[in-house]
Structure 1
Amino acid sequence: MSNIKIISLGGVRENGKNMYVVEVEDEIFVLDCGLMYPETELLGIDIVIPDFSYLEENRDRVTGVFLTHGHEDAIGALPYFLQKFDVPVFGTELTIALAKLFVEKDSQTSKFDDYHVIDENTEIEFGNAVLSFFRTTHTIPDSVGVTLKTDEGSIVYTGDFKFDQSATPAYQTDLAKISDIGKNKVLALLSDSSDAESPVENVSDLRVAEEVVDTFRNTEGRIIVASVASNILRIQQVLDAAYKSWRKVFITGKQLEEIVDIAMKLKKINLPSEDLIVPIEDIDKYKDEEIVVLETGTTGEPIKTLRKMAAGKHPQVNIKEGDLIYIVTSPSVSMEVNVATTENMIYRAGGVVKQISDNLKASGHATPNDLKLMLNLIKPTYFIPVMGEYRRLAAHAKLAHEVGIPFKNIFIPGKGDVIEYKNDRMHMSGQVEAGNTMVDGIGIGDIGNIVLRDRKLLSEDGIFVAVVTISRKKGKIMSGPEVMTRGFVYVKENTDLIAASNEIVREVVEDNLNHKEFEWSRLKQEIRDALSKFLFEQTRRRPVILPIIMETSSRNRRK
């Protein structure tokens, strides 16, 4: 009898950062390795990736990484993972090509070359499981789900998916194979919950394509299309619509160019005419009604780039009177404030905003009816909703109960929760270390809660610096105190506050100099405490207080 564990290292109770671990006896299979873009409170953080600590503790048991599709939420953390692990990476043709694009840009992983291209007919035998794959429909071609066949039954992971009966061949779901999987014993299903609470079902992608064409034909000026770089389906629809409306396409951003180039070489994007895409440098040669600008950000996020365009700071294209800004991606909930702010900037610059979601429910994720269909096809004994915030996982759990799975067989995991199958039943058996690893520039995991708290304080109440030079030998202040502030108060209008702060620092320093047991740490802390109390009483604000104490002797100078 096999011992099986299922652990979510990311992708549960959050949006993105998908990473799931399935252990079968002594083998560990890693399903997806994604990142998450930071929410507003993560000031200065570039991306968030899973915590690999548990896998590092069991690195000898990791058999490989199995990728479901080429979006950042599934492959974005791979460069950071491969800095720590030398294991094979499995994925479909386009998924591997995009994974290489991410990995090769990192100097520490650029030489990694243990990739294995799979398709829906591939079966990989390991010691305790056989892995196979099935085609799914998503907003990028070559998306698959993963099946791990064990002695106790199969573990099925859907990846991102939806059902669309009018999908083109490159995006069609293999319903027959999914049905065949369900005819045998499926021990557990891990299924996409991103749209589980949607009250509206998705329209077909054929209807979305018609909407894009109508928008292009009924617009007189330039069209600036904002899309996620790896949304290949939407990019194809934009190219088709530009061709049908007699427009040329101009691509901004190196990452978008690279992704489009890869997709075209692999024939995952079909170019309606060879001269459809024109170098951005030639945009001034065309009339406004002949132009479509396809843009995205450096990290695949188009909203930040739109703000630059609206502010007149984009190096290639800026928004002008008469432009239509067409947002063809659905921003996450955490981006709503940024989207609203960006829309205001666009209108001030003379542009008009239209979102594809204004008229249509267009998503790459399964809505409730699709989710129940997947459950009915797979027929799992146990169900584990993944991918999404808690309310979405809970909504998916309710759907599973509606199709006949008892609540006792449904597990809503948190990050690090261990769901174990042992002695003929599945149960929660503990936790492993799991959380967020924040990437800021070249720093990985060196930003913690204290740093984020200080950044938040700096952004809200500013900084207050007190500088003083002392001589312990003479027991007196040699220079200062001098108080400086940034982002706290306007100094010229608060001279009394500054003078009083100087006096407080002077009193604290003199009191410590007269103390027989002088301690640098105590002096700095007493300055912080005294100033913090005084400034809060006067302003009801708490700036970051930074005492800088220097000593006249060069050998003993302190800061």
Structure 2
Amino acid sequence: MSEIKLIPLGGVRENGKNLYVVEVDEEIFILDCGLMYPESELYGIDVVIPDFSYLEENRERIAGVFLTHGHEDAIGALPYFLQKFDVPVFGTELTIALAKLLVEKNSLVKGYDDFHVIDEQTEIEFDKAVIRFFKTTHTIPDSVGIVVKTEEGSIVYTGDFKFDQSATSMYRTDFSKISDIGKEKVLALLSDSSEAESYVENVSDLKVSEEVLETFQNTDGRIIVAAVASNILRIQQVMDAAYRSWRKVFITGKNLEEIVETALNLNKLQLPSEDLIKPVKDIDKYRDEEIVVLETGSTGEPIQTLQRMAKGNHPQVNIKDGDLVYIVTSPSTKMEVILSTTENMIYRAGGTVKKITDHLKASGHATPNDLKLLINLIHPEYVVPVQGEYRMLAAHAELAHEVGMSYKNILIPGKGDVIEYKNKRIHMSGQVSAGDTMVDGIGIGDIGNIVLRDRKLLSEDGIFIIVVTIDRKKQKIVSGPTVMTRGFVYVKENTQLIEQSSEEVREVVEENLEHNKFEWGTLKQEMRDALSKFLFDRTRRRPVILPIIMEVSNKKRK
């Protein structure tokens, strides 16, 4: 009788950073290895990845990493993971190709080449489990769900998915395979919750294609399409519409070019014409009504790049009178304020804006009816909602209850929660370390709450630097105090405040110099305390205060 544990190290009570651990006795199977883009309060942080501490403690037990699709919420943390672990990685053809792109760009991963391409027919046998796959529909080809089959039953993980009866063969869900899985014992279903609280069902991708084509045919000027680079389905729809409306496509951004080239080489993206894509340097050779500019941001979200185009700062294409900016992605709710600001900038630059979400509900994630249908096909004993904020997981739990699942058979985990199946019983049995690891430049995990707090203070109230030079032997100030400030006040209009600040520091330093055994740490802290109180009383602001003390050397040179 096997002991089974399910441990989400990311992807629950948050959007992105999917990483789920399935333990079957002594073997560990890792499902997805994604990242998350930072919230606005994470100043300067590039990406957020899962905490690998638990996996490091159990590295000898890891059997492999199994990927569901090629989006960064599923594969983005792989380069950081492979810096620490040398284990095999399994995924479909396009998923592995995109994963290799990410790994090759990371200079800290040297010589790794243990990738294995699978498809929906692949079965991989391990000592305690068999890993199987089933085809799903998402906004990128080669998306699959994963089945971990054990002697106690199967653990089914959907990854990102939706159901679309009109999907083309490259994107079509294998309902027969899902039904066959449900005929066997399914112990637990880990299912996508991103759209569980939606009141509107997704339109078919056929309707989306028609909407894109109609927009292209009814626009006279240039069309600048903003899309997520890895949304291959939307890029295919843009290519098809451009061809049918007699337009050429100009691609901006190296990230998009690499993804498009990879998809083309694997026949996962199909060009209706060989001369459809043109180099951006030739854009002036074509009339405005013949042009489609396809752009994405370097991190996947294209909104910031649109701002550069609106300001006239983009190195390749800038927005001008008569341009239509067509946003064919569905920005997250946390991007709404930025999106509104960007729209205003586009209109000021002479362009207009149209969003695909103005008329259509076009998401790559399962809506309530999809989720309920999946549960009815799979017949799981337990449902574990994953991939989403807590309210989404809770909405998914209610949907499971609607189709007959008992609340006691629905578990909403937090990061690091251990769901254990032992002796025919499932329960929460504890927690493991599962925080967020911040990536800033080449630094991984070296940014903590104290640094983020300082960055927040710097962004809000600026920095106040006070420099003083002392002669401790003669017990006097040789130079200063001199004040330098950035982001706090405009110095030329606040000379009195600066002078009074210097006097406050002078008093503290002179008082300490009277005692020959004063401590540097004590002096600096007293300078901070005095300045902090004085500046807050005068300005109601709390800048970061940085005291710098230099001492004159009294040693004679030979």
Q: Identify whether the pair has TM-score above 0.5, normalized to the shorter chain.
A: yes
- Whole-angstrom CA distance in 1 between matches of 2:407 and 2:548: 60
Measured in 2, the distance between the counterparts of 1:108 and 1:517 equals 48
Q: Which residue of 2 aligns with 1:219?
A: 219
Deviations 1:352-380 (A, max 9, x none): 11110010000000000000011111111
2:154 aligned residue: 154
Q: Which residue of 2 aligns with 1:420?
A: 420
User: Do the aligned residues in 2 keep the contact of 1:29 with 1:62 (CA within 8 Å)?
Assistant: yes
| Secondary structure in structure 2 of the residue aligned to 1:315 | coil
User: Structure 2 matches for 1:278-289, cutoff 5 A?
Assistant: 278-289=278-289
Indicate whether 1:197 and 2:203 are aligned.
Answer: no
Residue 184 of structure 1: aligned partner? 184
Secondary structure of the residue aligned to 1:134 is strand
Structure 1 position 103 matched with structure 2 position 100: no
Match of 1:45, as an amino acid?
A: I
Q: Which residue of 1 aligns with 2:497?
A: 497
- Note if 1:165 corresponds to 2:134: no
Paired residue type of 2:416: G
> Is residue 371 from structure 1 mapped to residue 374 from structure 2 by the alignment?
no
In 1, the alpha carbon distance for the partners of 2:50 and 2:554 equals 46
The aligned residue for residue 296 of structure 1 is 296
Measured in 1, the distance between the counterparts of 2:31 and 2:517 equals 59
Q: Which residue of 2 aligns with 1:26?
A: 26
SS class of match (2:474): coil
Q: CA deviation at 1:53?
A: 0.6
Task: Look up the match of 2:406.
Answer: 406
Q: Does 1:121 align with 2:112?
A: no
Q: How does 1:240-255 map to 2 (within 5 A)?
A: 240-255=240-255
Per-residue displacement from partner, 1:85-134 (whole Å, max 9, x unpaired)?
00000000000000001011112225211011101100000010000000
Q: Which residue type is aligned with residue 549 of structure 2?
A: I
- C-alpha distance in structure 1 between counterparts of 2:544 and 2:344, whole Å: 32
Equivalence for 1:68: 68
1:251-330 equivalence runs, <5 A: 251-330=251-330
Residue 440 of structure 1 is matched in structure 2 by 440
Greater shift after overlay, 505-514 or 107-116? 107-116
- Alpha-carbon separation, structure 2, partners of 1:112 and 1:335: 36
Provide structure 2 residue ranges, at least 5 long, that are not aligned to the other structure.
Answer: none
Q: Report how far residue 404 of structure 1 moved.
A: 1.0
Q: Which residue of 2 aligns with 1:394?
A: 394
Change (3 A) 1:226 1:452: same
- Equivalent-residue separation in structure 2 for 1:58 and 1:495 (angstroms): 61
| Secondary structure of residue in 2 paired with 1:171 | coil
Q: What does the per-residue CA deviation read over 1:288-328, in whole Å, with 9 as the maximum and x for residues that have no partner? A: 00000000111222111111111111110011111111110
Aligned length: 556
Q: In the superposition, relative to structure 1, how do residues 100 and 459 fare at CA in structure 2: closer, same or farther (>3 Å)?
A: same
Deviations 1:57-90 (A, max 9, x none): 1000011100000000000110000000000000
CA distance in structure 1 between the partners assigned to 2:207 and 2:98 by the alignment = 28
CA distance in 2, matches of 1:32, 1:153: 21
SS at match of 1:170: coil
Deviation at 1:181, TM superposition (A): 0.6
Identity between Structure 1 and Structure 2 (%) = 79
Aligned to 2:136: 136
Corresponding residue SS for 2:312 = coil
| Alpha-carbon distance, 1:337 to partner | 1.5
Cα deviation code 1:328-349 (max 9, x no counterpart): 0011112112111111111111
2:170 counterpart SS class: helix
The aligned counterpart of 2:333 is 333
| Aligned residue in 2 for 1:551 | 551
Residues 372 and 403, structure 1, Cα contact 8 Å, conserved in 2: yes
Paired with 1:467 and 1:239, the residues of 2 have a C-alpha distance of 61
Contact 2:472 2:516 in 1 (8 A): no
Q: 1:461 to 1:554 in 2, by over 3 A?
A: farther
Of 441-450 and 106-115, deviating more is 106-115
Whichever residue aligns with residue 197 of structure 2, its letter is E
- Hey, what does 1:11 align to over in structure 2? 11
Q: Residue in 2 aligned with 1:81?
A: 81
More displaced 10-residue stretch of structure 1: 59-68 or 401-410: 401-410
Aligned to 2:468: 468
For the 8 Å contact 1:39–1:335, the answer to whether it is kept is no
* Aligned counterparts of 1:381 and 1:128: Cα–Cα separation in 2: 20
Amino acid at match of 1:442: I
Asked if the contact 1:420–1:427 (Cα under 8 Å) also holds between the matched residues in 2, the reply is: yes
Which amino acid in 1 is paired with 2:431?
Answer: Q
Could you tell me which runs of 5 or more consecutive residues in structure 1 were left unpaired when the two chains were aligned: none
Q: Distance in 2 between matches of 1:253 and 1:230?
A: 13
Q: Secondary structure at the match of 1:256?
A: helix
Query: What SS does the corresponding residue of 1:68 show, helix, strand or coil?
Result: coil
Relative to the length of structure 1, the TM-score reads 0.98
Local SS of the residue matching 1:169: coil
Q: Give, in whole Å, the separation in 1 of the partners of 2:513 and 2:327.
A: 63
| Matches of 1:306 and 1:459, distance apart in 2 | 24
Q: CA deviation at 1:516?
A: 4.0
| Deviation of 1:515 (Å) | 2.3
Aligned to 1:529: 529
CA distance in 1, matches of 2:206, 2:515: 80
Counterparts of 2:291 and 2:377, CA distance in 1: 46
Aligned equivalents of 1:554 and 1:248: distance in 2? Answer: 75
> Within 1, Cα distance between the matches of 2:537 and 2:124?
68
SS at 2:278 equivalent: coil
Residue by residue over 1:383-428, the C-alpha shift from the partner in whole angstroms, topping out at 9 and shown as x without a partner, is 1100000000000011011111111111111111111111211111
Looking at structure 1, the residues matched to 354 and 436 of structure 2 have their Cα atoms a distance apart, in angstroms, of 34
Residue 517 of structure 1: CA displacement? Answer: 2.8
Deviation at 1:554, TM superposition (A): 8.4
Matched residue type, 1:436: D
What is the TM-score normalised by the length of structure 2? Answer: 0.99
Do structure 1's residue 483 and structure 2's residue 483 form an aligned pair? Answer: yes
The question of whether the paired residues in 2 share the 8 Å contact of 1:104 and 1:111 is answered with: no
Deviation by residue 1:245-291 (Cα, 9 ceiling, x = unmatched):
10000000111001001101111111000110001110010000000
Partner letter of residue 420 of structure 1? E
Match of 1:46 in 2: 46
Structure 1 Cα separation of the partners of residues 348 and 179 of structure 2: 53
